[in-house]
Structure 1
Amino acid sequence: MSSGVDGAGVTDRRQRRVLLVGASLLSVSMSAFELVPASVTPLIRDSMGVSAAEAGLVVGTMFGTAVVASLPVGAVLDRTDSRLAVAAAIGLLLVSGAWGYLAGTAGDYPALLASRVVGGLAYVVVWNAGIDIVGRAFPPATRATAVSTFTASGPVGFALGQALGPVVAGVFGWPAVFPVFAVSTLLGLTLFWPASRGTGRVEDQPAPTPADLRRVVTDRRVVLVGVLGFLAYSLYLFVNSWAPSYLTEELKLSLALGGALTALFPAVGVLSRVSGGLLSDRLFDGRRTPVVFGSFLVATPVVAGFTSLRGVPVIVAALLVAGFAIQLSLGLVFAYVRELVDPAVAATAVAFLTSVGLAGAFLAPIAAGAIIERSGYETAFLVAGGLGLVGVVLARVASEPT
């Protein structure tokens, strides 16, 4: 199985660091692969003759696949060698990259979507297994910092996909973005594979039973952290998706300036996600709830009052504060949830949180769009602030891991 005694198999500090770097590089490449079609959307539309919504689905399909597949993947990881599962997932991603290239050059839209489903399955395996392995490899005193550092790879990958996708497309054609970013995972794998030896399976632990797995997803504490993850990801994707439109349509900023300002919101997550783990491990002596509570407490009024702000300097400050606050908890909750359950079913707990959190990421932009069409931006931001307020209340009553 994928989990046993935490920290088993890795006793050398240098090995732990290499493992973390390798796992993070894997996640950077896979996150870039996930988002890179967004950077070449006009080329996809022109080449394949599809609508904006259909082009957007090339990105959204991977998120949707992760939502559906995450929990079954977690259950499998708790019953097998998660280290081997990561290697198999990289192989699957290479297949997805090659298939995406062939489908793109042939103008076969259904095949392109199918290739993205395969890529989404590979992504969720690496994400869940990476969190599980990193969480077990590091001792409790530094675990949240390590897991938060791993999750900070997400915004790094998104930024690289957005920046380098058009460059690759300009040289090799837009379908080449799929194999190029798929092959880039091999760098992380060369570091991860030797450093992760001994972390994928603990032989003397019995495999979790279906009843064990069922107890995970019905555990009140796990469900509560799942809801907190749902709320945090909802706020994160709401601002990412609709702040640029608000800045251009309501404040009359240029599209380039609106996009540049909004980019500050996810970019600050590279620092914020690591900081969430450090604060929990160092300042709060391993307690998780103070950081999650503070994350929602600071972000909620900024998001709710965003439409009342005027002036570029004030908007920049608000985006930085909100982005930093919201993402404080996005990495920490993954360390938090796996500590609430027995190590033998930790991957299932992580997978449950991944599925619920990404559901928030998937649904929030859609729901916000409906609210904006009906009632305007001010109402949408107030509703988002209401979600943040729910997060404040839930974080206040959440239990600490024992």
Structure 2
Amino acid sequence: MSTTDATSDDGPSEGPAVSSERARWGLLLGASVMSVSLGAYELAPASVTTLIRQSLDIGPSAAGLIVSVMFGTAVVASIPVGVVLDRTNSRHAVAVAVGLLLVAGLWGWYAATIESFALVLASRVLGGLAYVVVWNAGIDVVGRSFEAERQATAVATFTASGPVGFAVGQAAAPLVAETFGWPAVFPVFTALSLVGLALFWPTSRGSGRASDTPTPTFADLSRVVTDRRVWLVGVLGFLGYSLYLFVNSWAPSYLTDELGLTLVASGALSALFPAVGVLSRISGGVLSDRLFGGRRRPVVLASFVLATPAVAAFTSLRGVPVVVAALLVAGFAIQLCLGLVFAYVRELVEPAVAATAVAFLTSIGLAGAFLAPIVGGALIDATNYGTAFLGAGALGLVGIAVAWFAPEP
């Protein structure tokens, strides 16, 4: 397993890798702040959809595309990005990605002020590319900067920045729009990434690449994406993200349409589902490292075992307190594995190609995030909410089966 001591210098002028405990946590904090910025930028348009539709004169599907296009970009770009990261310096790539993110934010603001839907969408594609670079490189650098017995905890803590960013974007975007106009939601949240980069850059010195390993050949990289063990963990990521985005997307509508709650109430209750992930994702790493001695499979298996009945039975529940409890259980259980799988997959391959393994998992996982809301919506239109949630529960059963046969690193 790679640690900070097993990292190389970033270059002749950069000196030795920073290996102090304070530097490790500074690195983790900086990477997490950048990820929070990206998550907020990604989801912010969802909270001002009404304003976007009125300004750009577009329908709900086109407005939804402004958010989902970032997922689609990440699915397509993740593996090529991972290949590049394994053949270059992840630390430098993060700095370039933050620059691209700032450009995307300003571009989106300009496109929105001239009311050009096409240019807004193009700016979000650039933002999606920046997102996948920071996400993959962040996991790569954080993973190698902590010793083996704390690696899953560190990586899971980094991934907890995702739901934090979603919550920040969802809560703050209406306030930003009210004060500065809705186009400001693009640059405001991207600016936060500069704070993260300022923390990350000095503390990540020497952690950009794995040491004592040759530059991976394309044959090495191709072995990663054809490795059966990597594919098994990729399927687990796909199923986990499918459940996560399905519930995120359709629980609010169910609470409004079927239980008669107001939009404000259903939104507030549904926000509990991703919010509990801050605790859950960190807990997944801690449990794996401390309770199970570095084994990953028991935690992933428990995640699907707990989540499956909570999701499948969701529409049969009555009473707001019971529904809230189900959302908390489902949110905690599903996200228990969403941070852990990224530490899991990089441990199945050689350090020199760990970024490619992470990128592969990101691509497969976000494919599930992209498809699940669409398929779920089609199923609800064709049948009803109960059938759709039962279908999601069936995905959980598949997750249990796959986790049962998943390898240990």
Residue matched to 2:164 = 156
Q: Tell me the distance in 2 between the aligned counterparts of 1:346 and 1:330.
A: 17
Secondary structure of 1:187's partner? Answer: helix
Q: Tell me the distance in 2 between the aligned counterparts of 1:42 and 1:209.
A: 49
How far off is 1:201 after superposition? 2.6
Aligned counterparts, 1:120-159, within 5 A: 120-159=128-167
Q: Tell me the distance in 1 between the aligned counterparts of 2:241 and 2:356.
A: 19
Structure 2 counterpart of 1:179, one-letter code: P
Aligned length in residues: 399
Residue matched to 2:270 = 262
Residue matched to 1:375 = 383
1:118 paired to 2:126: yes
| Partner deviation per Cα, 1:17-62 (whole Å, 9 max, x = no partner) | 1000111001001110111111111111111111111111111111
Structure 1 residues 213 and 5: alpha-carbon distance in aligned structure 2, compared to 1, 3 A threshold: farther
| Partner deviation per Cα, 1:327-351 (whole Å, 9 max, x = no partner) | 0000000000000000000000000
Residue matched to 1:307 = 315
Structure 1 counterpart of 2:180, one-letter code: F
How far off is 1:7 after superposition? 4.5
Q: Tell me the distance in 2 between the aligned counterparts of 1:59 and 1:332.
A: 25
Residue matched to 2:400 = 392
Contact 1:305/1:382 (CA < 8 Å) preserved in 2? Answer: yes
Structure 2 counterpart of 1:270, one-letter code: V
Residue matched to 2:14 = none
Structure 1 residues 4 and 12: alpha-carbon distance in aligned structure 2, compared to 1, 3 A threshold: closer
Q: Tell me the distance in 2 between the aligned counterparts of 1:296 and 1:207.
A: 37
Secondary structure of 1:207's partner? Answer: coil
Structure 1 counterpart of 2:139, one-letter code: I
Structure 2 counterpart of 1:95, one-letter code: V
1:221 paired to 2:218: no
| Partner deviation per Cα, 1:177-210 (whole Å, 9 max, x = no partner) | 1111111110011000000000003465321111
Secondary structure of 2:271's partner? Answer: helix
Structure 1 counterpart of 2:247, one-letter code: V
Q: Tell me the distance in 2 between the aligned counterparts of 1:169 and 1:134.
A: 34
Residue matched to 1:319 = 327
Q: Tell me the distance in 2 between the aligned counterparts of 1:172 and 1:258.
A: 27
Q: Tell me the distance in 2 between the aligned counterparts of 1:202 and 1:334.
A: 17
Contact 1:4/1:201 (CA < 8 Å) preserved in 2? Answer: no
Structure 2 counterpart of 1:259, one-letter code: G
Residue matched to 1:294 = 302
Q: TM-score, normalised by structure 1?
A: 0.97
Secondary structure of 1:43's partner? Answer: helix
Q: Tell me the distance in 2 between the aligned counterparts of 1:173 and 1:60.
A: 22
Contact 1:98/1:178 (CA < 8 Å) preserved in 2? Answer: yes
| Partner deviation per Cα, 1:130-177 (whole Å, 9 max, x = no partner) | 000000000001000000000000000000001111111111111111
Structure 1 residues 279 and 331: alpha-carbon distance in aligned structure 2, compared to 1, 3 A threshold: same
Residue matched to 2:11 = none
Contact 2:281/2:337 (CA < 8 Å) preserved in 1? Answer: yes
Q: Tell me the distance in 1 between the aligned counterparts of 2:33 and 2:6.
A: 21
Contact 1:10/1:137 (CA < 8 Å) preserved in 2? Answer: no
Secondary structure of 1:287's partner? Answer: coil
Contact 1:85/1:125 (CA < 8 Å) preserved in 2? Answer: yes
Structure 1: where are the runs of 5+ without partners? Answer: none
Secondary structure of 1:163's partner? Answer: helix
Residue matched to 1:42 = 50
Contact 1:225/1:333 (CA < 8 Å) preserved in 2? Answer: yes
Segment of structure 1 superposing worse, 7-16 or 141-150: 7-16
How far off is 1:11 after superposition? 2.2
Aligned counterparts, 1:3-402, within 5 A: 7-8=6-7, 9-202=17-210, 204-401=212-409
Contact 2:26/2:199 (CA < 8 Å) preserved in 1? Answer: yes
Q: Tell me the distance in 1 between the aligned counterparts of 2:342 and 2:383.
A: 35
Runs of 4+ residues over 4 Å off in structure 1: 3-7
| Partner deviation per Cα, 1:50-93 (whole Å, 9 max, x = no partner) | 11111111111111100100000000000001100000000011
| Partner deviation per Cα, 1:66-124 (whole Å, 9 max, x = no partner) | 01000000000000011000000000111101111110001111111111110000010
Q: Tell me the distance in 2 between the aligned counterparts of 1:336 and 1:247.
A: 35
Q: Tell me the distance in 2 between the aligned counterparts of 1:279 and 1:137.
A: 20
How far off is 1:239 after superposition? 0.6
How far off is 1:261 after superposition? 1.2
Contact 2:4/2:147 (CA < 8 Å) preserved in 1? Answer: no
Structure 2: where are the runs of 5+ without partners? Answer: 8-16
Structure 1 counterpart of 2:137, one-letter code: A
Structural RMSD (CA)? 1.2
Q: Percent identity?
A: 71
Q: Tell me the distance in 1 between the aligned counterparts of 2:6 and 2:178.
A: 45
Q: TM-score, normalised by structure 2?
A: 0.96
| Partner deviation per Cα, 1:354-384 (whole Å, 9 max, x = no partner) | 0000000000011111111111111111111
Structure 1 residues 337 and 202: alpha-carbon distance in aligned structure 2, compared to 1, 3 A threshold: closer
Segment of structure 1 superposing worse, 67-76 or 367-376: 367-376
Structure 1 residues 162 and 152: alpha-carbon distance in aligned structure 2, compared to 1, 3 A threshold: same
Secondary structure of 1:161's partner? Answer: helix
Segment of structure 1 superposing worse, 107-116 or 249-258: 249-258
Contact 2:40/2:169 (CA < 8 Å) preserved in 1? Answer: yes
Q: Tell me the distance in 1 between the aligned counterparts of 2:78 and 2:309.
A: 32
